[in-house]
Structure 1
Amino acid sequence: MSVLIVIPARYASTRYPGKPLVELTGATGEAKSLIRRSWDAAIAVSGVDRVVVATDDDRIRTAAEAFGAEVVMTSEACANGTERCAEALENLGGGYDIVVNLQGDAPLTPAWFVEDLVAGLRAHPTAEVATPVLRCDGRALNGFLEDRRAGRVGGTTAVFGSDHKGLYFSKEVIPYTSKTYADDEETPVFHHVGVYAYRPSALAAYPKWPTGPLESLEGLEQLRFLEQERPVLCVEVESRGRQFWELNNPEDVPRLEAMLSEMGAS
């Protein structure tokens, strides 16, 4: 089954304008843009036929092409990354069995997250869309709670049923737990990893559906599938000792740089 990875990237982010071009310094002191680090994460994934950056901004296009990325220009009207992936696939003429949306703000995404996600979708022939979830340790959960106490929107959490179909995704920390966890302690909270794998038919249908109230309230694109009663398969992935975080706010830059240093990433 052929696999396309699309990295949607827009300059006009509401919370963090220009985010794809923000530079992050690695363990060796080298600074690389967020879009470059996201591209490096994508090309490290095995079993992929093609990787493209999808953007509507010439500044991002110029920066991406400068480090050798293939770029597909898309409309400014795309409301989110899923709509941008749908347009990118159409502009490329289709021809792929699985399309992966590797969002351009998740440069720490390990290759095995995406590989396990694709394997999970392949193993469930009736599933139309899948996304990874990562069980939080105390360190990650405490980071979520710290963001909420400070009034920041951090990462997203997910709850799912015994069949691993998503019940809900939220920028609040769900499910509620009153317990305090040590940094290395396992918690009942799952971090939703901002990566998606779609069947082309589901991706093509998505932009035609109206934006529902839950998607509008949370600002989470995957809720459109749930509001259309289209199941989202949650594929549990393992951290293997790696920290994971997205760049959501300017305050996340030092957090990500510390993680890059801890990983020894250049």
Structure 2
Amino acid sequence: MTVALLIPARYASQRFPGKPLAPLKGATGVAKTLIARSWEAALAVRGVDHRAVVTDDGRIAEEAARFGAPVVMTSPDCANGTERCAEAAATLDPAPEIVVNLQGDAPLTPPGFVEALIAAMRAHHEIAVATPVLRCDHASLARFREDRRAGRVGATTAVFDHAGRALYFSKEVLPFLPALPAAEETVPVFHHVGVYAYRRDALERYLAAAPGVLERCEGLEQLRFLEAGMPIQCVEVEAGGAEFWELNNPEDVPTVEAALARRGLV
């Protein structure tokens, strides 16, 4: 199966305007833009036939061209990364059988997270959409809760059934915890990793479906699939000791830079 890995990136983020061009320092103190670091994360993923940055903004396209990434320009009317990936995938020749959306705000995404999705799609042809979920440790749960206490819209949690089929995604910390888990207890909260793998027909159905009330309330694009009755397969992944966090808000920059330095990423 041919696989296209696309990095949708937009300039006009409400929470962090110009986020793809934000500088992030690595282990040597040298700054690279977020989109450059996301591209480096994409290059580490095995089993991919085509990679590209997908944007409607000339500034992002210019930066991507500077570090050698192919660019697909899309309409400014795309409401989210899934719509942007759908539009871009339709222009690729040959058309990919699997489209991976590696969102441009997660340079800490281990390649294994993406490779697990690709493997699941190849092994189970009935899966139309797949996304990774990572069990929270106590430190990441504390960051979730701190974001909510501070009124910041931060990372997303996922709730799924025994077969891994998504039940819901939320910017709230779900499930509700009446008490914090003790240090020796397993945390029952899963961090949704903002990566998706789609089959082409799932993207076509997504474009044909109108955004629903849940998508509009939460601001989460994947809820359109669930509201339209299209299942999403959650694939549990392991971080292997590597810290994972997205760049959701300017306040996340020190956390992401510290993790880049600990990984030795220059």
TM-score of the two chains, using structure 2 as the length reference: 0.97
2:109 is aligned with 1:109: yes
**CA distance, structure 1, for counterparts of residue 90 and residue 149 of structure 2:** 42
Three-state SS of the structure 1 residue aligned to 2:91 is helix
Identity %: 63
Partner of 2:86: 86
**CA distance, structure 2, for counterparts of residue 27 and residue 158 of structure 1:** 31
Aligned ranges for residues 34-49 of structure 1 at < 5 Å? 34-49=34-49
Root-mean-square deviation (CA, aligned residues, Å) is 1.2
Deviates more, 1:144-153 or 1:119-128: 119-128
In the TM superposition, what is the alpha-carbon distance from 1:261 to its structure 2 partner?
A: 1.6
2:243 is aligned with 1:247: no
Three-state SS of the structure 2 residue aligned to 1:120 is helix
Deviations 1:79-131 (A, max 9, x none): 00000000001122452111000000010000000001111122221111000
Partner of 2:229: 229
Aligned ranges for residues 82-231 of structure 1 at < 5 Å? 82-93=82-93, 95-181=95-181, 186-231=186-231
CA 1:251 to 1:242, structure 2 compared with 1: closer, same or farther past 3 Å?
same
**CA distance, structure 2, for counterparts of residue 239 and residue 4 of structure 1:** 23
Asked if structure 2 preserves the Cα contact closer than 8 Å seen for 1:138 and 1:185, the reply is no
**CA distance, structure 2, for counterparts of residue 57 and residue 20 of structure 1:** 10
In the TM superposition, what is the alpha-carbon distance from 1:178 to its structure 2 partner?
A: 2.7
Deviations 1:182-240 (A, max 9, x none): 67863100000000000011112211210000000000000000000000000000010
Aligned pair count reads 266
Gapped regions of structure 1 (runs ≥ 5)? none
Partner of 2:265: 265
Three-state SS of the structure 2 residue aligned to 1:147 is helix
In the TM superposition, what is the alpha-carbon distance from 1:14 to its structure 2 partner?
A: 1.2
Partner of 2:60: 60
**CA distance, structure 2, for counterparts of residue 94 and residue 145 of structure 1:** 45
**CA distance, structure 2, for counterparts of residue 10 and residue 94 of structure 1:** 25
**CA distance, structure 1, for counterparts of residue 174 and residue 48 of structure 2:** 33
Partner of 1:51: 51
TM-score of the two chains, using structure 1 as the length reference: 0.97
Amino acid of the structure 1 residue aligned with 2:161: G
Amino acid of the structure 2 residue aligned with 1:50: H
Deviations 1:127-171 (A, max 9, x none): 110000000000011000000000001100000001100000000
Asked if structure 2 preserves the Cα contact closer than 8 Å seen for 1:72 and 1:88, the reply is yes
Gapped regions of structure 2 (runs ≥ 5)? none
Deviates more, 1:183-192 or 1:232-241: 183-192
